[in-house]
Amino acid sequence: MRGFASTSAVDDYTAGFEQGKADDSPLEFTVTVTADDVDRLVDEPEHEARLEGTVTAPALSATPMKVEDGRFNLLTRDADHAGARQMLYAMPLVTEDGRRFHLEGFKQIHDDKGLDLWKDTTTLYVTVHEGGEDGPVAAKGIVTIHVADFAKQMTTMRGGLGALATFSRMFAGSLNESFGGVFARPSAFNPDAPPREHRPLRTPPPDVHFFRTEDDVELRLTRFNGGPKGPVILSPGFGTSSYAYTIDTTDTNFPEYLVEHGYDVWVLDYRASPSLESGGTQFTLDDIAAYDYPAAVAKVREVSGAESVQVMAHCIGSLTLLMSLALGLEGVRHSVASQVTLHPRAGVLNELRSGIYAGNVIQGLGIDTLDTDPGEDPSWAEKLYDRALQLYPSGEEDCGLPFCRRVMFMYGEVYDHDQLNDATHEHLHEAFGVANMTTFRQITRILRADHAVTHDGQEAYLPATDNLKVPISFLHGEKNRLFTPEGSKLTFDYLVEKNGPDLYTRTVIPGYAHMDLFIGKDAARDVYPVITAELDRFN
């Protein structure tokens, strides 16, 4: 690999490269990568191999430096960036006169806009430290592999056919996860893989309560009793289970945060949860509003003995909570309504869906449900659906994972990938599942009406403003492209006009989109304190 590095511009890779080029300060190396066991190289998360060779950097040494006990890691996960992979180089160096340096380099492989696979896999960002790896920075720059050198490299690979095939499958599979696009695997995860090991939550043991609604649907509440505050019900979005809140891939999830702050937390799986039998049935948003919330609030009040509860509801959970309040829901003293309100305003992709009545068209093909998991034996319609979504526009979130493509097709831009760590991106499918087309059709009707209406278009919610004379804290992500911030502002302004300003607040969270308000890698720092402060006001 060849490039330039500077001994003066050491704060930035590009600046180091440009200054090194201007100063005629090249940095080159030729190394051999050795893996004694290719299967182990593939299977172990670190994918570690040995590096041997020489590094030439005249600004540091007049003669080539020898690499001693170098290490190479192939396509490791970048824990802080969803879907990203890194190639890592670590080279202890010794000069002819015995001086020591340490070269560290990385290739950042991520599915950015455009065809950048070649650039990502052939560009190495280099830092050289004086002495050891903790020593002061001696040089910084960028090196690349040229096409001719890459072709030569391919001819130098040695190993049995089985080993080379194993390496190729692993390399192609890892790149496909980041750059899959229309060539991506039909499943976002391996259904034959053993269950992953979950970290223990920092909460009291869960206390699970099943209960039935007035129309005889079984729902579930999971209680984490962290103290005297609350109780507070956490209600997720449509087509996601309570695991959207209890996901263990971040350092602190929302229930853990609330428990740490003394709250009695109840996480709700209403009838749209894919973890319940009802998730795959046909129902309307009106059913959730009329039956699920009253039953859930009553159950929490019964078990906890509390006179009233608080509810923190997200997405369609928020919309149906507001609809339920409009219908006269009792026992709720304060609500946090996240992202979707009585005046939802869709982003570009959802506007497109509502404009062409996508739900009606899909249901007309005989498809009553969609699923983020294609299953082991998909029907012909699901196979056609998978082919179609490979060409579906992906908006700003251009991810090659088939799971993300399905989420994009079914819902839109649900999360900002930049806000997710890699573990959440890899395991988020565990929170999603089946969603029914009857509900999608009502969402389309609401979007076309510009405000909440019943499944058959009747005005049952906006006229009932007297029932919405309860404290409501509206919450929205600034970068939400699924349901834009305009929607919560319209509902906020509407209620202030009807009932006065004292009951309502509205907060926009900078830099966040939709679901990443709750699953983002830094949500415990940026978002949870904002919500908890609102809950504390009415505790």
- Is the pLDDT assigned to residue 346 strictly greater than 90? no
Give the Cα separation of 114 and 116 in Å (integer).
6
Query: Which one-letter DSSP state was computed for residue 413?
Result: -
Q: At what angle do helices 348-355 and 437-449 cross, to 10 degrees?
A: 100
Strand spans (E) along 437-494: 472-477
How would DSSP label each residue in 266-294? EEEE-TT-TTSGGGGS---HHHIIIIIHH
Contact by Cβ (8 Å): 14, 41: no
The proportion of the chain whose per-residue pLDDT surpasses 90, expressed as a percent, equals 58
What CATH number has the domain spanning 207-537? 3.40.50.1820
**Predicted confidence band at 82 (pLDDT cuts at 50, 70, 90)?**
low
223, β-bridge pairs: 207, 266
94 or 75, greater pLDDT: 94
Give the Cα separation of 283 and 272 in Å (integer).
8
Encode pLDDT of 410-449 as tens digits: 677 888 888 998 888 888 888 887 788 888 889 989 998 9
Contact by Cβ (8 Å): 349, 317: no
Query: Which one-letter DSSP state was computed for residue 518?
Result: H
Rounded mean pLDDT, 261-280: 94
List the 263-269 sheet strands across, edge first: 207-212, 218-225, 263-269, 229-235, 309-314, 332-338, 472-477, 504-509
Encode pLDDT of 146-202 as tens digits: 655 555 554 555 554 455 444 444 444 444 443 333 333 333 444 455 566 788 999
- Is the pLDDT assigned to residue 265 strictly greater than 60? yes
> Where in the chain are the domains?
2-179, 207-537
Q: What is the pLDDT of residue 237?
A: 93
Structure tokens belonging to residue 495: 């209620």
Q: What are phi and psi of 113, to 5 degrees?
A: -65, 140
How would DSSP label each residue in 159-211? S-HHHHHHHHHHHHHHHHHHH-GGGS-S-SS-TTSPPPPPPPPSSSPPEEEEE
Give the Cα separation of 481 and 485 in Å (integer).
9
Place of tokens 């009233």: 308
Encode pLDDT of 30-65 as tens digits: 988 887 766 665 556 566 788 899 999 999 999 999
Q: What is the pLDDT of residue 390?
A: 53
